[in-house]
Amino acid sequence: MMREVVATRYITPLRSGGSVPGVVEADDLGTYVVKFTGAAQGHKALVAEVIVGELARALGLRFPELVLVHFDPAIAAAEPHQEVRALHGASAGVNLGMDWLPGARDLTPQLAKTFRVDPLEAGRIVWLDALTVNVDRTVHSSNLMVWPTLGTVPPRLWLIDHGAALVFHHRWDTTTPGKKYDFRQHALGHYGPDVRAADAELAPRVTEELLRGIVAEVPDAWLAEDAGFATPDDVRAAYVDYLLARARLSREWLPTDFPSREQLAAEDALRAQQTEAGRPAWLRRVPDLHGEPAAEQDWSAHLG
């Protein structure tokens, strides 16, 4: 079960993400990135974080520890921005924290050119994303961290940010477990992911017992608002049934078509050209009013 901690010091908000998570210290002396219950994405994003993150860990993938964080907005009273304070005020009580990875780097397209990923490890991550319908891990925003980056320990890939996964839980009655999604833009597609080997290894491990243990960790309050279900346990059962059925139908949705970097670049260039051609003349070639490119963002910007 996830540990519970109490936030004792508020450090800073992470402003780039739409959910504006915050970095806090807790009474266990740990530092956590907190995703707040009052964020616009709602409780389903937190549910997805728990289910996919804990499933990743259970399948042997690297994912930072999740904890339940008791948060008192009073510890962040000095936050200067009113909208962030309003978010804190709407999030008093239990929120979701993820262990902070100090010094970790975002797997950017530039870093991906030199960082090596084993095809089987890439296949396992792609397989997890396809199972949980996480279409948000793309070449443009990998939601993958490289850590540690100092010392003698080799840097490894760590998964983060699964709030956009489990897209089926937004419309339970219109999705089928065997549906295939487009993963051609997956962040690890150009590493030659061995998804067939990953499927043979991981699909049998997604059992009803495993899934029931994972969904049991989701707080009742985060499930109570799901329309169409009488109780939180009914919602939990729906997640178990759907993911178990999807794992058993993996041959129907297994992604295998991954273009090269060069093909992706060509597709992006064509898409940009078509977009530009479709704009009115007065919107084309708008000058850069800032005069210089934006600086590369810190890894923590991608936790939102």
Residue 282 pLDDT: 61
Cβ-based burial of 163 (10 A; exposed 0-12, middle 13-18, buried ≥19): buried
Give pLDDT, residue 299: 39
pLDDT band at 17 (very low <50, low <70, confident <90, very high): low
Task: Assess contact for 93 and 71: CB atoms under 8 A.
Answer: yes
Helices 208-215 and 232-248 cross at an angle (nearest 10°) of 140
Q: What stretch of H or E contains 100?
A: none
Polymer length in residues for the chain: 304
DSSP 203-261: GGG--HHHHHHHHTTS-HHHHTT-TT-SSHHHHHHHHHHHHHHHHHTHHHH-------H
The predicted pLDDT at position 285 comes to: 59
198 pLDDT band (50/70/90 cuts)? very high
Give the pair of three-digit tokens for residue 16. 């780039």
Cα 54 to its chain centre, rounded Å, is 12
pLDDT at 16: 66
Residue 113 DSSP label: T
pLDDT reported for residue 42 = 94
Q: In a 3-state reduction of DSSP, which class is residue 62?
A: coil
238 to each of 58, 222, 279, how far by Cα in Å? 20, 15, 44
- Please calculate the CA angle 43-45-50 and round it to the nearest 5 degrees: 95
User: Using a CB cutoff of 8 Å and minimum separation of 24, what contacts does 82-89 make?
Assistant: 83/20, 84/13, 84/20, 84/22, 86/38, 87/20, 87/36, 87/38, 87/39, 88/22, 88/36, 88/38, 89/38
Of all residues in the chain, the percent with pLDDT exceeding 70 is: 91
- Tell me the per-residue pLDDT of 107-117, one tens digit each, with 9 for 90 and over: 999 999 999 99
pLDDT of 287 reads 54
Q: Which residues pair with 144 in a beta bridge?
A: 159
Instruction: Please report, for residues 12, 14, 97, 193, 218, the alpha-carbon distance to residue 33 in angstroms, rounded to integers and kept in the order given.
Output: 10, 9, 5, 30, 18
Q: pLDDT at position 225, please? A: 80
Query: How many CB atoms sit inside 10 A of residue 247's CB?
Result: 21
- The percent of residues in the chain predicted with pLDDT above 90, rounded, is 78
Count of helix runs (H) and strand runs (E) in the chain: 10, 8
User: What is the arithmetic mean of pLDDT over 238-244?
Assistant: 98
Q: What is the pLDDT of residue 283?
A: 61
Predicted local distance difference test score (pLDDT) of residue 277: 75
Q: Lowest-confidence range among 44-48, 227-231, 283-287, 288-292?
A: 288-292
Locate 303 and state its tokens: 């936790």
Asked if omega into 154 is within 30° of 0 (cis), the reply is no
Domain ranges of the chain: 3-99, 105-253
pLDDT averaged over the chain?
Answer: 90
The answer, yes or no, to whether residue 229 has pLDDT greater than 50, is yes
Has residue 153 got a pLDDT over 90? no
Q: What is the pLDDT of residues 266-298, one digit of tens each?
A: 877 777 777 777 777 666 655 544 444 444 444
CA 180/CA 177 separation, integer angstroms: 9
Query: What is the 8-class DSSP label of residue 160?
Result: -
Binned at pLDDT 50, 70 and 90, residue 226 comes out as confident
SS3 content of the chain, % helix, strand, coil (to 5): 40, 15, 45
Tell whether the model's pLDDT for residue 233 goes beyond 80: yes
pLDDT band of 124, cuts 50, 70, 90: very high
How high is the pLDDT of residue 238? Answer: 97
Between residues 59 and 295, the one the model is more confident about: 59
